[in-house]
A = this chain, B = another copy of it.
Amino acid sequence: MKLAFLVFAATALAQPPPVRILIAYHSQTGNTEKMAQAIRKGAASVEGVEVSLRKIADVKDQEILQADGIVVGTPVYWSNVSADSKRFLERVGDVLWKAKTNGDDRTAGAFCTGGGVAMGKDVARLSILSALLTMRFIVIGGVDDAGFGTLGPEATTGPAGRGVGEKEQEEARNFGERFARMTRQIRSAKNPPAPSAR
């Protein structure tokens, strides 16, 4: 029995803790939520990654502190993040500050949905990324279907767009996968596995 315990303990030590990704979003109509779910799907497909999908009001302090990567999603209200999303960003800053820590070695991403084609989507995503850069996070964007990088996934939900369609969800899934994979890379580089004792 003692032996069994030792074997278990050794396995636990060998196994690094999961890479934790928090996807926090504000959604009134369900559009941003749909994007968030697609991102979660992509992120969860990466081995060794644990994803929490939360409405911003439901995020616990502990989840912010434990996250190796944070992705924030917002609807675009008047050419910027919603006030609720901004409040959440301020809370992330407060929680880290009180815990005397910061975004070092952690990753940050952004996504949004907007009624108009190009009315504040850049500003909204850059606002999220700037806020998290100011907390010392590393910023990771998405990749669109033409292979170009993006500030993060987005969808046009007004009459001029296609809403959160299959294409938008695929881009969101791809972003989730990319974000999770790179967050895992950066975490593994931070905590290199101990050389196996022999």
Interface residues of A (CB under 8 A from B): 77-84, 86-87, 89-90, 93, 102-103, 105, 114-123, 126-127, 129-131, 133-141, 143-144, 146-151, 154, 156, 158-159, 161, 182, 185-186, 188-190, 192
Add 8 more A-B contacts to A80-B81, A119-B144, A188-B189 (CB < 8 A).
A78-B89, A78-B130, A79-B131, A83-B84, A118-B121, A119-B122, A138-B138, A189-B189
Report Cα–Cα, A146/B102, bound state, in Å: 12
| Chain B residues, CB < 8 A from A131 | 78-80
Task: Quickly give the copy total for this chain.
Answer: 4
A9 CB, min distance to chain B CBs, angstroms: 23
Report Cα–Cα, A101/B190, bound state, in Å: 26
Most chain B Cβ neighbours within 10 Å, of A129, A134, A135, A137: A134
Report Cα–Cα, A138/B192, bound state, in Å: 20
Closest to A112 in B: B118
Closest to A129 in B: B139
Are B78 and A82 closer than 8 Å at their CB atoms? no
A162 CB, min distance to chain B CBs, angstroms: 9
Closest to A88 in B: B83
Known A138-B138, A141-B133: A147·B102 in contact at CB below 8 Å? yes
